[in-house]
Amino acid sequence: MASYIESGWLYLITHFSDFQLASLGSFFLHEGVFFLSGLPFIFFERTGILSKYKIQSKNNTPAAQEKCITRLLLYHLCVNLPLMMVSYPAFRFMGLSTSLPLPSWKTVLAQIIFYFILEDFVFYWGHRILHTKWLYKHVHSVHHEYATPFGLTSEYAHPAEILFLGFATIVGPAITGPHLFTLWLWMTLRVLETVEAHCGYHFPWSLSNLFPLYGGADFHDYHHRLLYTKSGNYSSTFVYMDWIFGTDKGYRKLKALKSDVEVSSKQM
């Protein structure tokens, strides 16, 4: 398997420049992962397939879904792509590499874990700041236009928010100066995580059922249902920051209430 990956990587670095791979390559990889993982949830919502796993009974209209896709394409082309292109010199300065051999899996795994932990910490505080009155009204309320989120709404946000919270995603790689392969893997996992958190479905196989510290769709869906400045559940991936600072109290109370109701119904 490793030899196939290295052969594919050799093809990339011999046919494309570092700039093309780091900017355009990153952009097209992001678009592919984002839309391929997010579009199925529009299909699920429109057809009612897997509706028994849907967290909210309310559905978005086709017009609302189309508005989201149109805005996303505009934001990605006019904000994300230029940002990736102008960021290239900074990442080169910080040690971004594309050469062979690829980093060991131990190195990749250690860096990815570090990125997730650091991103979650930075994102929590940035997201909580966005829920202050002025910033919520003028910036973050755009993201909360969708009280019933679906996968693609994960990146539906004000351009200022894209830049502000995007810092949480790049700060880890900026510190370590990773190999581009590691950066691509991190970007892929982060996109899949945020799409899942906004998907609107809680499946039996959801990661939150397997890992107690993982937030997932049920945790973040509660955040979207409350369109106020103090809705809680600010974390991106894990739940411990909200637990430590008590910003998940409403969610925990609701979960406990639902649990009590389920126990009572079973006893009847």
What is the distance between the alpha carbons of residues 28 and 16, in angstroms, rounded to a whole number?
14
Q: Kindly give the parts of the chain with pLDDT less than 70.
A: 1-2, 227-229, 259-268
Predicted pLDDT of residue 155: 96
Predicted pLDDT of residue 30: 97
What is the distance between the alpha carbons of residues 71 and 131, in angstroms, rounded to a whole number?
22
Q: Which residues pair with 54 in a beta bridge?
A: 201
Predicted pLDDT of residue 263: 45
Predicted pLDDT of residue 262: 53
Both tokens of 185, joined, read 């893997």
Max Cα separation, the chain? 69
Predicted pLDDT of residue 257: 78
Buried b or exposed e, range 118-148, using 16+ CB within 10 angstroms = bbbbbbbebbbebbeeebbeebbbebbebeb
The full 3-state SS of the chain, as one line of letters, equals: CHHHHHHHHHHHHHHCCHHHHHHHHHHHHHHHHHHHHHHHHHHHHHHCCCHHHECCCCCCCHHHHHHHHHHHHHHHHHHHHHHHHHHHHHHHHCCCECCCCCCCHHHHHHHHHHHHHHHHHHHHHHHHHHCCHHHHHHCHHHHHHCCCCCHHHHHCCCHHHHHHHHHHHHHHHHHHCCEHHHHHHHHHHHHHHHHHHCCCECCCCCHHHHCCCECHHHHHHHHHHCCCCCCCCCCCCECHHHHHHCCCHHHHHHHHHHHHHHHHHHHC
Predicted pLDDT of residue 254: 83
Omega cis (within 30) before 89: no
Both tokens of 96, joined, read 């971004």
50-97 pLDDT, tens digit per residue, is: 999 999 999 999 999 999 999 999 999 998 999 899 988 888 888 899
Structural domain spans, the chain:
2-267
Place of tokens 């057809």: 47
